[in-house]
Amino acid sequence: MSKLAFLFPGQASQYCGMGRDLAANFPESKSVFDAADSALGFSITQTCFEGSEEALKLTENTQPAILTVSTAAYRALAGKGIVPDFVAGHSLGEYSALVAAGGVDFSAAVKLVRARGKYMQEAVPAGQGAMAAILGLSPTEVGDICKKAAENEVVSPANLNSPEQTVISGSAAAVKRAVEIASQSGAKRAVILPVSAPFHCALMMPAQQRLEADLRATQFSALKIPLITNVDAQAITTGEEARAALIRQVTAPVRWLDSVREMIESGVTVFVEVGPGKVLTGLLRQIDRSVRVFNVEDSASLQATMEKLAQARAEVREP
């Protein structure tokens, strides 16, 4: 029997006005925005609906904003009775996946990711860290390039996104060296990314230690839906495993390629990207073009996805 997975996006999927349509059309989505404002003590709703690109780009705003919109989209889908067999989220998206799986309360999660954004921002002084996307080389080749470029500084693969795309992270000078070596080694593209901190590398250890204290003080529950973690690309079902994975995730690479392959090997043939943008939809097409992928970020995409899911199910039932 074919299986369904929900995927939740991470940072860089945000855009001005995201979530407004959901809140206007679905009471269950509107209540998510109300809960977020109440938990944070300021209007993240306003940041999502009317905030400037600059305000949305601040990591401590981006993270709760994307979590809120993704959860609002998930609640609208759940309201239609659609339940996935697996959930997974890219970096920050793992929190959205965990909320969807019932592993952590939304109000607790939105406070956690606000703090996570702040800690990550403060872990490395501005300008000292960097991230870059390397396109057209294998993850192994990129790993080797990082070793060559390090020269006693930090640079390592941060997001193993697809067979064609690996993002690296570390000290600004080491990342720059890695970009130059990658360009000479036949990369299609090697570009420094406009991010405010070097996520998912050893330089994030101060953020990991601060976030660990918050995560240990947060109540986690058993998951109602198996979650494929970023750090191990394996399914988990307990709150303890979820907490441990989120702690390790701050400095560890996001094993997205392996996570998607794990779901496909477990029988998933249909994926729905739940939340703003279509970043994960694009990556999925690079990983495996035989699976179907839809997205839900507003009422129009929800309607379209409902129709396509019904069609996919009808095809499965046909002899």
Give yes or no: 43 in active site.
no
For 40-79, what is each residue's pLDDT tens digit?
999 999 999 999 998 998 888 999 999 999 999 999 999 9
Strand partners, 132: 168, 192
Residue 115 and residue 153 in one domain: no
The rounded percent of the chain whose pLDDT value lies above 70 is 98
Tokens of residue 215, six digits: 């995560």
Q: Are residues 166 and 31 in the same domain?
A: no
In percent, how much of the chain has pLDDT > 90?
92
DSSP 126: T
Whether 2 shows a pLDDT value over 90: the answer reads no
Supply the pLDDT for residue 116: 96
* Same domain flag for 16 and 85: yes
Residue 200: active-site member: yes
Looking at residue 12, its pLDDT comes to 87
pLDDT of residue 195: 83
d(CA 254, CA 159): 5
CA distance 81 to 101: 14
The answer to whether residues 7 and 119 belong to one domain is yes
Express each pLDDT in 147-201 by its tens digit: 999 999 999 999 999 999 999 999 999 999 999 999 999 999 999 998 888 999 9
Measure the CA–CA gap between 31 and 48, rounded to whole angstroms: 15
| Mean pLDDT for the stretch of residues 240-244 | 98
The number of folded domains in the chain is: 2
* Per-residue tokens: 79: 């309201």
Q: What is the pLDDT of residue 23?
A: 98
Which residue range is the domain that position 179 belongs to?
129-195
CA distances from 221 to 97, 211, 215, 228 (A): 13, 18, 13, 16
Tokens 């000290």 locate to: 171
What are the pLDDT digits (tens) for 121-156?
Answer: 999 998 899 999 999 999 999 999 999 999 999 999
**Do 32 and 168 have their domain in common?**
no
Please tell me whether residue 171 adopts helix, strand or coil conformation: strand
Q: Which of 70, 96, 200, 259 is catalytic?
A: 200
Q: Rounded CA gap, 22 and 28, in Å?
A: 9
Instruction: Judge whether residue 270 has pLDDT over 90.
Output: yes
Q: In degrees rounded to 5, what are phi and psi of residue 219?
A: -80, 130
CATH number for the domain spanning 147: value is: 3.30.70.250
Check whether residue 298 and residue 252 sit in a common domain. Answer: yes
Is there a single domain that holds both residue 163 and residue 284? no
Name the catalytic one among 91, 156, 171, 259. Answer: 91
- Mean pLDDT value across the chain: 96
**Six-digit token pair at 250?**
């701050």
Residues 50, 134, single domain; the answer is no
The two tokens of residue 57 are: 């780009």
Q: What is the pTM of this model?
A: 0.96
Let me know whether 186 and 292 are in one domain: no
Asked if 162 contacts 283 with a C-beta cutoff of 8 angstroms, the reply is yes
**pLDDT at residue 1 tops 90:** no
pLDDT at 317: 65
